[in-house]
Amino acid sequence: MKASLPPLTFAGLRYTLAFLCLLPFVVMKSTHRQLVKNLSKSTWLQLILLGMVFYTFTQGAQFIGLAFLPAATVTHLLNFSPIFVAITSGIVNKEGTTFTQWMGILLSVASAIIYFLPLSIPANQIIGLVAVFVGVLANASSSLLGRKINTQSGLPAIVITTISMGIGGVLLLIAGATTQGFGQLDWLQWLIIVWLAVVNTAIAFTLWNKSLQSLTAVESSIINNTMLPQIAILAWVFLDEALILRQIIGLGLVTIGIVIVQVWRGKKR
């Protein structure tokens, strides 16, 4: 897939197709149409900004990173997002992070470092590192903005997802087509893109916005760190990539850190 389709075009195609999958569910429901019709100017601006930050910048940066870095390295770097979210959530959304939750966040991040040690990054991967770092900052910003929109706009998660994904996905597709062009895909690759658009994008991001209606930005962001053990387990099952003891310990500590953040959520409320 990497050799057949440029990264930005791939990302734009995936998110635009996902938007087209969600659009009928908004258009065909009268209450959703009425909500969109009555959106205020400020809400529209917030949704446009969310689309640009969460999809155009965050996802675009991640796909560029994947073109230069191994998927495991990109996943590892994204585990630092909760730190930036925790630092700024108290200021932006007035949602403080408790000391115990901070310990859970730091444990989760430290565990990700343990999992990937020793980490060796060749010089030709610097572009990928810069791209992913931009993606981490954009991802943290989108978590905060997404939390604000989901709690204050009164819109259903599917409406927020459809509008923001449509804006961000189309911009990403235009950027990719303009700067990198289109590749040539066979039917199997198209099938993979459609699968990613429906399951991994349309459904997944709607559930993400739904989570932001009840979880704080920090709590939702730390859940993303479960991708690390999920990827490791799937790689073991499907790719026969065995885990060494250090990696198993790292995965266990990541899980403990995530549990600490979520369990303490109930205690502080």
CA distance 119 to 264: 32
Q: In this predicted structure, what is the pLDDT of residue 116? A: 66
Please state the separation of Cα 179 from the chain's center in Å.
23
In the chain, what percentage of residues exceed pLDDT 70? 82
Residues 6+ apart with CB under 8 A from 113: 76, 119, 250
Q: In this predicted structure, what is the pLDDT of residue 262? A: 59
126-164 pLDDT tens trace: 888 899 889 888 988 888 899 899 989 889 999 999 999
| Residue 266 or residue 127, greater confidence | 127
Cα of first residue to Cα of last residue in the chain, in angstroms, is 46
The amino acid that residue 56 corresponds to is T
- Please report which confidence band the pLDDT of residue 239 belongs to, taking 50, 70 and 90 as the band edges: low
